[in-house]
Chain A
């Protein structure tokens, strides 16, 4: 068993009386997809925020490749190898697809502080960006303005930007959201192949995708991890069933 690439240790976060994250310890091992599921309001987004640096936990640690990054800023974590996609696309809508990908490449190459040569003409940036676009199938749309992309294409671009970073770990917040059945299926296939490159922490509502992809699944309810296990174990867990049904009722 190898060491986890990403782990949280006893993470806690409260908003007033509300405990959004309650002593959460999860980990992500090389080569696996670890999915986090849970009903709305279970604290999934809050957890992701703490892992990626948008929120500071009240207590506990976030470990990236064994290193404590709890006090690091978002950009420091990104530099340390954390690649993230957003539930709601965070893209530069006035820029082209290629420019969005180049932005990621700039982060990866540490090349933002250059003032002379046009970004689009730097071969190292361009190669990296084009490669990422190629992989998600957006190569032909590279010169389209992002605002004119379809919803599905935007999700693809989100993933492409994360790819340009060549991260050591992916954190994906509902990448399937709003995709049609076909789109979901294609992305599922793509993520399936991605896990060998870097493990994926996947937050997703699309249960078909989750059960198809995840090596392990953690269930988050009211900020607490109530169960972790393989797809079959989770499916069989009465606790999980109660939590979901109880919530629905």
Chain B
């Protein structure tokens, strides 16, 4: 049976609406937490999907932006909760616990960092690109570990979730509503972007860089902008993830996390709108249920991933709709 991708996408969104609502009624708050985790990881991977799926850049260092988003939240909220001033050279602030401001800071900072990393990394391609992005990830990881002011390896605990006007973010379903709404907004933007002239050009840059040049467009600039947008979205996800856990630590910068984000996309389907979403849901479910079965659940996760690569070209969406994913 072949499913139309549109129906599949609709089904997925409906599921993400229905499951938490069911969990509220059945009084299963942890289910909401799990779905929130999946939604935030999906958001991060949607960001990655812009460079990976559309632009064909295999970034093995996207945890950098996830971590920067997390630390943006952690640092701002830390100063707000301890009433200490945060000196930023020209001006001083007391931090903030107001989510929209935190998101903005997270997105701007990670976008800026993405600009510089992209500027340097895009000089390379192929395996070298994979490795130089990994190297940037490692630099940030080690930096965060030894950044004693903000907890170093211990990380930063934010005791109370940050505020959003009109909502009590401590209630799982309300926090979920925020994350879900942001995911929907970003998915919508992703869809627009993918179909827009920019998306088309970026997609072309992945498949035939020379072609893009010969029609008078600069693939480097296309890719760099994509990298910045992607970094900002992943940064936003990082800020939400930190708020979900009320905690930030250097593990948000780890190369395993970069790897996991890639895995999410491949499970779902590279370059597909809902690929990261499906991937994240499946991944979180696997992590949760396999973990209950055995201490050695990583073995099974490995086998499943292997099967997806070897037999499931195009990820789960590819399997269900019969379409192959983007070639990277």
Task: Report if A and B touch in the complex (beta carbons < 8 A).
Answer: yes
Chain A residues near B (Cβ < 8 Å): 52-54, 73-76, 78-79, 83-84, 86, 90-95, 99-100, 102-104, 106-108, 110-120, 122, 125, 161, 164-165
B208 to chain A, nearest CB (A): 5
Q: Is A125 in contact with B197, judged by CB distance below 8 angstroms?
A: yes
* Segment at the A interface, from B2-10, B107-115, B213-221: B213-221
A133 to chain B, nearest CB (A): 15
**A161 CA to B208 CA, complexed, in Å:** 13
Q: Is B212 in contact with A103, judged by CB distance below 8 angstroms?
A: yes
A-B pairs, 10 with minimum CB distance: A107-B215, A78-B216, A118-B195, A107-B216, A74-B213, A92-B207, A79-B216, A90-B211, A119-B197, A112-B201
Residue from the list A74, A78, A92 in contact with B208, Cβ < 8 A: A92
Which residues of chain B come closer than 8 Å to A125, judged between CB atoms? 197
Interface residues of B in 149-205 (CB under 8 A from A): 192-193, 195-201, 203-204
**A115 CA to B210 CA, complexed, in Å:** 22
Interface residues of B in 213-266 (CB under 8 A from A): 213-218, 222
Q: Is B214 in contact with A113, judged by CB distance below 8 angstroms?
A: no
Given A75-B216, A165-B216, decide whether A90 and B210 contact each other with a Cβ distance below 8 A: yes
Given A92-B203, A103-B211, decide whether A75 and B197 contact each other with a Cβ distance below 8 A: no
Q: Is A119 in contact with B195, judged by CB distance below 8 angstroms?
A: yes
Question: Interface of chain B, helix or strand or loop or mixed?
Answer: helix
Residue from the list B196, B197, B204, B215 in contact with A78, Cβ < 8 A: B215
Q: Is B200 in contact with A102, judged by CB distance below 8 angstroms?
A: yes
**A114 CA to B225 CA, complexed, in Å:** 12
Q: Is B207 in contact with A75, judged by CB distance below 8 angstroms?
A: no
Given A52-B214, A161-B215, A165-B216, decide whether A106 and B208 contact each other with a Cβ distance below 8 A: no
Given A92-B208, A94-B326, decide whether A119 and B199 contact each other with a Cβ distance below 8 A: yes
Q: Is B196 in contact with A119, judged by CB distance below 8 angstroms?
A: yes
Which residues of chain B come closer than 8 Å to A117, judged between CB atoms? 196
Which residues of chain B come closer than 8 Å to A83, judged between CB atoms? 214
Interface centre among B199, B216, B218, B326 (most CB of A within 10 A): B216
A208 to chain B, nearest CB (A): 27
Which residues of chain A come closer than 8 Å to B222, judged between CB atoms? 112
Q: Is B298 an interface residue (CB 8 A)?
A: no
Q: Is A112 in contact with B197, judged by CB distance below 8 angstroms?
A: yes
B26 to chain A, nearest CB (A): 41
Which residues of chain A come closer than 8 Å to B212, judged between CB atoms? 75, 103
Which residues of chain A come closer than 8 Å to B197, judged between CB atoms? 102, 106, 111-114, 119, 122, 125
Q: Is B288 an interface residue (CB 8 A)?
A: no
Q: Is A92 in contact with B216, judged by CB distance below 8 angstroms?
A: no
B230 to chain A, nearest CB (A): 13
**A73 CA to B197 CA, complexed, in Å:** 22
**Beyond A90-B210, A91-B207, A107-B217, 7 additional pairs, beta carbon < 8 A:** A75-B218, A91-B208, A106-B201, A107-B215, A114-B197, A115-B193, A119-B197
Which residues of chain B come closer than 8 Å to A113, judged between CB atoms? 197-198
Which residues of chain A come closer than 8 Å to B216, judged between CB atoms? 75-76, 78-79, 107-108, 110, 165
Q: Is A78 in contact with B213, judged by CB distance below 8 angstroms?
A: yes
Which residues of chain B come closer than 8 Å to A94, judged between CB atoms? 203, 207, 326-327
**A164 CA to B215 CA, complexed, in Å:** 9
Interface residues of B in 79-115 (CB under 8 A from A): none
Q: Is B196 in contact with A115, judged by CB distance below 8 angstroms?
A: yes
Which residues of chain A come closer than 8 Å to B326, judged between CB atoms? 94
Q: Is B200 in contact with A99, judged by CB distance below 8 angstroms?
A: yes
Q: Is B198 in contact with A114, judged by CB distance below 8 angstroms?
A: yes
A53 to chain B: closest residue by CB: B213
A113 to chain B: closest residue by CB: B198
Which residues of chain A come closer than 8 Å to B217, judged between CB atoms? 75, 106-107, 112
**A95 CA to B207 CA, complexed, in Å:** 9
**A103 CA to B196 CA, complexed, in Å:** 11
Which residues of chain B come closer than 8 Å to A122, judged between CB atoms? 197
B229 to chain A: closest residue by CB: A115
**A112 CA to B222 CA, complexed, in Å:** 9
Residue from the list A93, A104, A120 in contact with B215, Cβ < 8 A: A104
Q: Is A95 in contact with B210, judged by CB distance below 8 angstroms?
A: no
Q: Is A90 in contact with B198, judged by CB distance below 8 angstroms?
A: no
